[in-house]
C-alpha cells in the first residue's frame, strides 16, 4: 500500500501501479493515465491494517493539494488480494 502511495506521489510510475492492480478490476486503466501526476500528495497515515489468509485491508488517510490549491483528504479502506505470493490492489471503500 505504501509503495502504491509513493508511486502516485512521485508520478510517472503507471506501469508499477498497473502491475500491482488486480487484473479483473484494472480494466480500462492505462500506464499513461496512471503515470500522470494529477495532484501533489502531502502525507499518508495508515490507520489500521489486517490480513486473513490471502486477503488484506488497509485503512488510511492521505492528504493532497486539490484543484485550486486547497488541501484535501482521501480516507479509504483499500482491499488487497495475494496471488502467487504477490499482493494486488482490488478496490476500495471511500
pLDDT digits (tens, 9 = 90+) for 10-60: 999 999 999 999 999 999 999 999 999 889 999 999 999 999 999 999 999
Name the DSSP class of 21. B
Q: How far is CA 66 from CA 4, 26, 46, 58, 84, in A?
A: 19, 24, 20, 23, 37
Burial of 58: CB neighbours in 10 Å, binned 0-12, 13-18, 19+: buried
Residue ranges of domains in the chain: 2-93
Residue 45 contacts residue 58 (beta carbons within 8 Å):
no
**CATH T-level fold of 2-93:** Nuclear Transport Factor 2; Chain: A, (3.10.450)
**pTM across the whole model:** 0.90
- SS3 for 37? coil
Amino acid at each position: 500500500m505504501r509503495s502504491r502511495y509513493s508511486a502516485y506521489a512521485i508520478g510517472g510510475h503507471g506501469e508499477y501501479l498497473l502491475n500491482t492492480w488486480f487484473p479483473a478490476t484494472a480494466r480500462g486503466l492505462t500506464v499513461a493515465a496512471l503515470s500522470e501526476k494529477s495532484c501533489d500528495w502531502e502525507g499518508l497515515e495508515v490507520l489500521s491494517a489486517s490480513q486473513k489468509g490471502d486477503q488484506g485491508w488497509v485503512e488510511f488517510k492521505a492528504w493532497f493539494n486539490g484543484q485550486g490549491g486547497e488541501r484535501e483528504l482521501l480516507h479509504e479502506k483499500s482491499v488487497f488480494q495475494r496471488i502467487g505470493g504477490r499482493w494486488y490492489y482490488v478496490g476500495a471503500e471511500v
